[in-house]
Structure 1
């Protein structure tokens, strides 16, 4: 499998190196077991002759040439963690050239993948339009507003859609690399994940911090403050809208456009976050925690936690120790 890592100026160092390390370990184990050629022929290419990482290290890259025909292209994340950094970066000349190159490779049959902020480059190229995708969770409001034609689900760690694969935030680079290795050999992927102490995760949801998402919009931020004060009382869309001096319809639409979910769903996110905190440090039993977040019994809370986080109360408490 020929894989090109398309490195852009100022990429996130860890994203590139953890990807390279995972493939190197996989090749080493495969060679030791079978004595054959490596599964993964990986190289770093660039639209510029010289590329520096976000930490300022000079990275040797191969120039993109017309005879370069990759099976896969992976775009590591840019080292820009905030919207005010990312938006100008996407308009850089090298990024625009990379977008055109990705479009060309895709038209020629290559498959494309990216993790974290690298998914924004794929979206700029139009490769995610009308497709399911994920991205770095804390920039999902910006992604949703900038690329309305993408079916975004930032709760998922990895999404495959036709010839495009997207992965989630930061260490999602490792999840993406393990996905590639799993396509070649599930047994090899299991060995690599154990050596790297890396669980194969299906969800980003347990890592999402709701108030970070709320900061993307003033009305949502005010709604978040109101919701935290009313977790015990339960949710009323009309009551929330009146308290925020807006209409229920406006609040509903704003939540959908910024967060990709209803006000009730976001309210439940806050319940889950609060419940997780109480499971960790309060010593309360599940029924008492349920009452603290507005539920009559622990069974309802257990169901919500399982649906949102993919884990039960016992697993969550074990993970927090």
Structure 2
């Protein structure tokens, strides 16, 4: 399988390195175990001849992006972690040139994958319009505002939509690379994950800091503050809107715009967050914890934890 990796100036060192390491390890294991899997031929491509990582290391660009014809083009993250640095980076000339090349390649239905901030580059090109995608969880609000045509599913670690694949924050570069290896050989992908000690991470939900997202909007922050104080009580949209100083319709619309979910769904996120904390830090039973976060029984909470985190109660407690 031929793979092109896009190296833009200021590329995120960890993202680029982990993608390369996954495919190198896959090739090494294939040779060592004599597996019947074609090698992964990796080429660094770009729109400039000279590129440096965000930490200042030189990257040898071997081929121009507009001449690339590999099976997959992978877009690692830029080393920008906050809107203040990301938005100016997306306006750079090299990024605009890369977006034009990505659009042309996607129009030919070529396979394109991106992780973390790389999903912003892909969205900036227009490639993700009308497609499902995920992105870095703490920048989901900015992503929604900037790219309303993308169907964002930011709780997921990986999203495949047609010939496009996107992955969540930072170390999801590993998940993305393993997904591509899995297309060639599920057995090899499992082996690489074991050698690199990579756990299954189907969701970003377990890593999201709810406060960070809600504080990006005053109305949502008021709702979040009210909800946290009433997790043990039943949820009432009428009371929630009144506490936030707005109408039910406006609250629901703003929650969708900022967080991409309904008020009730966000309350469920807060309940899961609180339940996980109690499971890790107390010896209370599941039934007791369920009552403390607004559920009538432990069965409901157990199901919700499994749905949101991809893990059960015992697994959560073992992480403490």
- Give the TM-score taking structure 1 as reference length: 0.95
The CA deviation at 1:38 is 5.2
Aligned-pair Cα RMSD in Å: 1.6
The CA deviation at 1:227 is 0.9
Cα distance in 1 between the residues matched to 2:210 and 2:66: 45
The CA deviation at 1:11 is 1.2
Which residue does 2:254 correspond to in 1?
Answer: 254
Structure 1 residues 67 and 206, CA gap change in structure 2 (3 angstroms): closer
Which residue does 1:213 correspond to in 2?
Answer: 213
CA contact 1:31–1:38 (8 Å) conserved in 2: no
Cα distance in 1 between the residues matched to 2:159 and 2:81: 21
Structure 1 residues 211 and 35, CA gap change in structure 2 (3 angstroms): closer
CA contact 1:157–1:172 (8 Å) conserved in 2: yes
CA contact 1:39–1:184 (8 Å) conserved in 2: no
Cα distance in 2 between the residues matched to 1:246 and 1:288: 34
Matched, 1:68 2:68: yes
The CA deviation at 1:161 is 1.1
Cα distance in 1 between the residues matched to 2:37 and 2:292: 58
Once the two structures are overlaid, the 10-residue window that deviates more, 272-281 or 27-36, is 27-36
Summarize the alignment of residues 1-321 of structure 1 with structure 2, pairs less than 5 Å apart: 1-34=1-34, 39-64=39-64, 67-318=67-318, 320-321=319-320
The CA deviation at 1:316 is 1.4
1:254-313 CA distance string (max 9 Å, x none): 001111110011011001000000001121111211121122322222222122222221
1:72-111 CA distance string (max 9 Å, x none): 1100001111112111111111110000111122234421
Cα distance in 1 between the residues matched to 2:153 and 2:238: 27
Equivalent residue of 1:303, what SS? helix
Equivalent residue of 1:261, what SS? coil
Cα distance in 2 between the residues matched to 1:274 and 1:244: 21
The size of the alignment, in residue pairs, is 320
Cα distance in 2 between the residues matched to 1:90 and 1:131: 20
The CA deviation at 1:216 is 2.1
The CA deviation at 1:13 is 0.3
Structure 1 residues 181 and 37, CA gap change in structure 2 (3 angstroms): closer
- Give the TM-score taking structure 2 as reference length: 0.96
Equivalent residue of 2:39, what SS? coil
Structure 1 residues 285 and 109, CA gap change in structure 2 (3 angstroms): closer
CA contact 1:48–1:63 (8 Å) conserved in 2: no
Equivalent residue of 1:156, what SS? coil
Equivalent residue of 2:119, what SS? helix
Cα distance in 2 between the residues matched to 1:182 and 1:37: 11
Cα distance in 1 between the residues matched to 2:244 and 2:265: 18
Cα distance in 2 between the residues matched to 1:88 and 1:104: 23
Cα distance in 1 between the residues matched to 2:65 and 2:157: 33
Cα distance in 1 between the residues matched to 2:134 and 2:307: 18
